[in-house]
Amino acid sequence: MRHTGTLELETDRLLLRRLLSQDALQMYENWANDPAVTRFLRWEPHKSPAETRELLSAWAELYPNPDYYQWAIVEKATGQVFGSLSVYNALLGEPQQKTKWPGLELSGGIWEPGYCIGQKWWGKGFTTEALQVVVDFWFRQVGGAFLTCCHAVQNPASGRVMEKAGFVYHHNDVYHKFDGTPVECRCYLLTKERYNNRKDLL
């Protein structure tokens, strides 16, 4: 793979870019403080904008790393930062995943997109649009051979986003929140070969 770090990406309606310290208030108000948004995620809702600023400061130190991918999702029409999308090496947090993906070359890691957006933007296709452009970036620019993606069993809407982006159900698993709470998940796979074949049909 040719890791590039978090490069700016664009769709018809969205700009994906690095999260900045000045995004803290919009991040807090638009999604990070909302328990409905974080219900199925690993982290708990933020208790204050200061907590959000602290997190963004920590992320700023990681952005120079070529294998760090964390995007703000910005609505072009309004300029609102309303969500985030990352691609991370799932082996770092769930090393037992190595046994779950037989037949794949895992020496470069198991890279998995994760996303969340504010409630006001649900149901408009924004998450699918953001995930699709990141998938394209991953295969065309980073040169990854595959991506995995997982969602809580109780959150089937997230699975529909994955399927629209080309991911195919692979197996069930149990992930853990940062506090250790287990979450039953459905895991999906998208290979570069399948992606290329799918693109040929579009």
What is the spatial distance between Cα 139 and Cα 2, in angstroms, rounded to a whole number?
Answer: 10
d(CA 188, CA 18): 26
What does the chain come to in residues?
Answer: 202
Q: Are 175 and 40 in contact (CB under 8 A)?
A: no
**DSSP annotation string for 80-139:** -EEEEEEEEEGGGT-GGGGGGSTTS--TT--EEEEEEE-GGGTTSSHHHHHHHHHHHHII
**Nearest alpha-carbon partner for 85 in 158, 192, 191:** 158
Structural domain total, the chain? 1
Q: Give me the CATH number covering residue 52.
A: 3.40.630.30
Classify residue 2: in a domain, yes or no.
no
Is residue 186 one of the residues assigned to a domain? Answer: yes
CB-based contact 67:73 (threshold 8 Å): no
176 occurs within a structural domain: yes
pTM to 2 decimals? 0.92
Q: Does residue 152 sit within a domain?
A: yes
**Strands 146-152 and 168-176, bridge-based pairing:** unpaired
Token pair, residue 60, equals 């700023």
User: What is the per-residue pLDDT for 181?
Assistant: 85
| pLDDT at 202 (0 to 100) | 45
- What's the domain range around 152? 9-201
- Please, are residues 83 and 73 in contact by the beta-carbon 8 Å criterion? yes
Q: Answer yes or no: is 39 within a domain.
A: yes
Q: Would 4 be classed as within a structural domain?
A: no
Predicted local distance difference test score (pLDDT) of residue 198: 75
Block means of pLDDT (10 residues each) for the chain, 202 residues, are 97 97 96 90 90 96 97 97 96 82 92 95 96 97 96 93 95 87 93 84 44
Half-sphere exposure of 61 (CA within 13 A, CB side): 5
> What pLDDT score does 200 carry?
53
